[in-house]
Chains A and B, each alone.
Chain A
Amino acid sequence: MHIKIALFKKGKTVIKEFLIYTIFIIILFTAVNLHYFFSKNSINRDSLTVAKVTKITEPSLSVGIFENRFLYLDKSFDNNVYPDMMSINKTGFVYEK
Chain B
Amino acid sequence: MKNNSFFYFLTLNLLKEKRRYAGIVIISSLLIFLLSSVLFISSSIKQTLNYTLKAQPDFIVQNIKGGKVAPINSNMVNKILNIYGVEKVTKRVYGRYFFDDKYSTLIVGVDFLDEQSNKNLETLINSTDLKQFLSKEQMIIGQGVKNYLKTHYYNLEYNFLTPDGQMKNIKIFKTLSSKSAIISNDETIMPLKSAQKVLGLKENKITDIALNVPNDSEWQTVKAKLQSLNFNIRVISKKDMQKAYESLFNYKGGLFLVLFLIVIATFSLLLYLRYTLAASLERKEIAILRAVGWSIKDVLKLKFLENIFLVIFAFILGSSLAYIFVFVLNAPLLKNIFLGGSNLTNFAKFTPVVDYGVLSTIFIIFTVAFLSSVLIPVWKIAVTEPKEAL
Report if A and B touch in the complex (beta carbons < 8 A): yes
* Chain A residues, CB < 8 A from B366: none
Measured between alpha carbons, how far is A14 from B327 in the docked complex, in Å?
35
**CB-based contact A48/B52 at 8 Å:** yes
Within 296-349 of B, Cβ neighbours of A (below 8 Å) are at 312-313, 316-317, 320, 323-324, 327-328, 339-340, 342-344, 346, 348-349
Measured between alpha carbons, how far is A12 from B8 in the docked complex, in Å?
9
* Chain A residues, CB < 8 A from B233: none
* Chain B residues, CB < 8 A from A18: 11, 14-15
> Given the interface contacts A47-B48, A50-B183, A54-B189, does A67 sit within 8 Å of B95 by beta carbon?
yes
A47 in complex: contacting residue of B8, B182, B312, B313, CB < 8 Å: B182
* Chain B residues, CB < 8 A from A14: 8, 11-12, 15
Q: Which residue of A is nearest B144, CB measured? A: A62
**CB-based contact A53/B352 at 8 Å:** no
B120 at interface (Cβ–Cβ under 8 A)?
Answer: yes
> Given the interface contacts A35-B328, A51-B55, does A59 sit within 8 Å of B354 by beta carbon?
no
For B350-386 the 0/1 string (1 means CB < 8 A from A) is: 1111100000000000000000000000000000000
**CB-based contact A50/B316 at 8 Å:** no
**CB-based contact B316/A25 at 8 Å:** yes
Number of A-B contacts (CB under 8 A): 179
**CB-based contact B94/A60 at 8 Å:** no
Within 71-88 of A, Cβ neighbours of B (below 8 Å) are at 71-72
**CB-based contact A47/B179 at 8 Å:** yes
Count contacts on B: residues with CB < 8 A to the other chain: 79
* Chain A residues, CB < 8 A from B49: 57, 59
Give the size category of A's interface with B. Answer: 35 or more
Measured between alpha carbons, how far is A42 from B47 in the docked complex, in Å?
12
B194 at interface (Cβ–Cβ under 8 A)?
Answer: no
Interface centre among B49, B241, B328 (most CB of A within 10 A): B49
Question: What distance in Å separates the Cβ of B46 from its nearest Cβ neighbour in chain A?
Answer: 10
Measured between alpha carbons, how far is A58 from B353 in the docked complex, in Å?
19
B90 in complex: contacting residue of A12, A51, A55, CB < 8 Å: A55
**CB-based contact A44/B351 at 8 Å:** yes
A3 at interface (Cβ–Cβ under 8 A)?
Answer: no
* Chain A residues, CB < 8 A from B352: 35-36, 39-40, 43
> Given the interface contacts A62-B343, A62-B344, does A68 sit within 8 Å of B68 by beta carbon?
yes
Q: Which residue of B is nearest A30, CB measured? A: B320
* Chain B residues, CB < 8 A from A43: 48, 179-180, 349-352
**CB-based contact B327/A35 at 8 Å:** yes
Question: What distance in Å separates the Cβ of B175 from its nearest Cβ neighbour in chain A?
Answer: 12
**CB-based contact A46/B177 at 8 Å:** yes
* Chain A residues, CB < 8 A from B328: 35
**CB-based contact B123/A49 at 8 Å:** yes
A52 in complex: contacting residue of B69, B96, B120, B245, CB < 8 Å: B120
**CB-based contact A58/B324 at 8 Å:** no
B154 at interface (Cβ–Cβ under 8 A)?
Answer: no
> Given the interface contacts A14-B12, A55-B56, does A47 sit within 8 Å of B101 by beta carbon?
no
* Chain B residues, CB < 8 A from A54: 94, 108, 110, 184, 187, 189
B contact residues vs A (CB 8 Å cutoff): 1-2, 7-8, 11-12, 14-15, 45, 47-49, 51-57, 68-69, 90, 92, 94-96, 98, 101, 103-104, 106, 108, 110, 117, 120-121, 123-124, 142, 144, 176-177, 179-187, 189, 210, 241, 244-245, 248, 312-313, 316-317, 320, 323-324, 327-328, 339-340, 342-344, 346, 348-354
Of the A-B pairs whose beta carbons lie under 8 Å apart in the complex, a sample of 24, sorted by A's number, is: A14-B11, A14-B12, A21-B313, A29-B316, A32-B323, A43-B179, A44-B47, A47-B48, A47-B51, A47-B179, A47-B184, A48-B51, A48-B54, A50-B183, A51-B55, A55-B92, A56-B92, A56-B108, A58-B183, A59-B182, A59-B248, A60-B185, A60-B339, A64-B104
10 A-B pairs besides A43-B180, A44-B52 with CB distance below 8 A are: A25-B313, A28-B316, A29-B316, A35-B352, A44-B351, A50-B184, A57-B49, A60-B182, A60-B186, A60-B348
